[in-house]
Amino acid sequence: MDDFLIIGGGIAGTSAGARLAQLGTVRVLEAEDALAYHASGRSAALFEESYGTEAVVALNHASRSFHETARVLSPRGFMVVGAKGGEAQLASDLDKMKLDAISIGDACALMPILNPDALCGAGYHADAWDIDTDRLVQSFARETRQNGEIVTGAPVTRITRLGTGWQVQTPKGDFKARKLVNAAGAWVDEVAAMAGVAPVGIRPLRRSMARIPAPGGLDVSGWPMVLGAGETWYAKPDAGALIVSPADAEPSTPHDAWADDMVLAEGLARYQEMVSEPVTRVISNWAGLRSFTPDGNLAIGPAPDDPDFIWFAGQGGYGMQSSPAASQLLADILGGRPPELDAKSVTSLNVTRFS
């Protein structure tokens, strides 16, 4: 019998595995044939410390040194642009995200295809970074394997409560552990139901992406990630092309998500209103389900109705950047250690707030 059995092999499950491997034997079960197949593999992958709720920002801050040591960050920069008539929304975004206001000319220098006649202003933060998500996930996976195993192609079909822990059935066999860690992303409430544990009300929200050719054939590699004020769209360089998202947050059921053509078209139209280069074609598109708790903070810790069932859920759009500190908090809680994170944030993240 293992000490920890983790359901889910995305950024939540692999980071939890790496931390918990220091406390006991670990086994990670992933339904798909590869790790980080769903939302974790479809992330915009930006490290911006000021993005998220107050508790998420605290996690981001506490995660920075890990990301730097792991060498998963590369310079990107982050800019918010406001459309004419949207001055109030832009001001709110700049204040919330702690961005410095810059001139429209400076904004166009950073992203040359912006249409200055469409802008009311902009804000910029140079201290924002691309995350090498594959390197991060594989780093956590290696640490997990030092005291455990990762089993892919193992969807959970049944969960049984034992007197000394849990038994989980999969096509790859049955597995037992003292503690069950629910890191199944959009599927966490379904996993809880299988285990007879009360759900926390996770909301899977679809986020769509389109990859378009580099506008005007320009070199986009040095452009920042650009967000339309009010998060109405965003664009980010990616492997010589540009990914553009309508920044949608459509409530969904847990499934292998795909982009809605109409939603993509509407988002591309909002993006195109702000730039001078037309979108001539879409190279590819995809979608992922970001999972949110009712208050937008992660849910971390033992379930109130069964302390051997552990929640590690609700990463939302912050899973990659917050994973080092979030998984450390999980290990601190389960290891009975004083958390490294501040007490206010720990309280805001504790799953017992939903009981």
Tokens standing for 205?
């929200």
pLDDT band at 35 (very low <50, low <70, confident <90, very high): confident
- For 210, residues 6+ apart whose C-beta sits below 8 A from its C-beta are 243, 244, 245, 259, 264, 267, 268, 282, 284, 285
pLDDT for position 271: 97
CATH T-level topology, domain 78-126+203-292 = D-Amino Acid Oxidase; Chain A, domain 2 (3.30.9)
- For 131, residues 6+ apart whose C-beta sits below 8 A from its C-beta are 43, 45, 46, 47, 67, 72, 73, 320, 321
Alpha helices in 179-229 (DSSP H): 188-195
Do residues 103 and 119 make contact, with C-beta atoms less than 8 angstroms apart?
no
Residue 311's DSSP bridge partners are: 182, 301
C-alpha count within 13 angstroms, C-beta hemisphere, residue 242:
29
- Length reported for the chain: 355
Output phi, psi for 195, to 5 deg. -90, -5
pLDDT for position 36: 76
CATH T-level topology, domain 2-54+132-202+294-354 = FAD/NAD(P)-binding domain (3.50.50)
Gap between the Cα atoms of 224 and 240, Å rounded: 13
pLDDT for position 101: 97
* pTM for this entry: 0.94
Do residues 51 and 76 make contact, with C-beta atoms less than 8 angstroms apart?
no
The pLDDT tens digits for 206-218 are 999 999 999 999 9
The pLDDT tens digits for 124-179 are 999 999 999 999 999 999 999 999 999 999 999 999 999 999 999 999 999 999 99
| Lookup result for tokens 């390197």 | 135
pLDDT beyond 80 at 38: no
Residue ranges per structural domain of the chain: 2-54+132-202+294-354, 78-126+203-292
Do residues 191 and 6 make contact, with C-beta atoms less than 8 angstroms apart?
no
- Geometric angle at alpha carbon 177, from 294 and 21, rounded to 5°: 80
Task: Give the relative orientation of helices 54-70 and 133-145 as an angle to the nearest 10 degrees.
Answer: 80
Q: What string of H, E and C letters represents the secondary structure of 278-320?
A: CCCCCCEEEEEEEEECCCCCCEEEEECCEEEEEEEECCCCCHH
pLDDT for position 355: 81
- The per-residue pLDDT of the chain, averaged, comes to 95
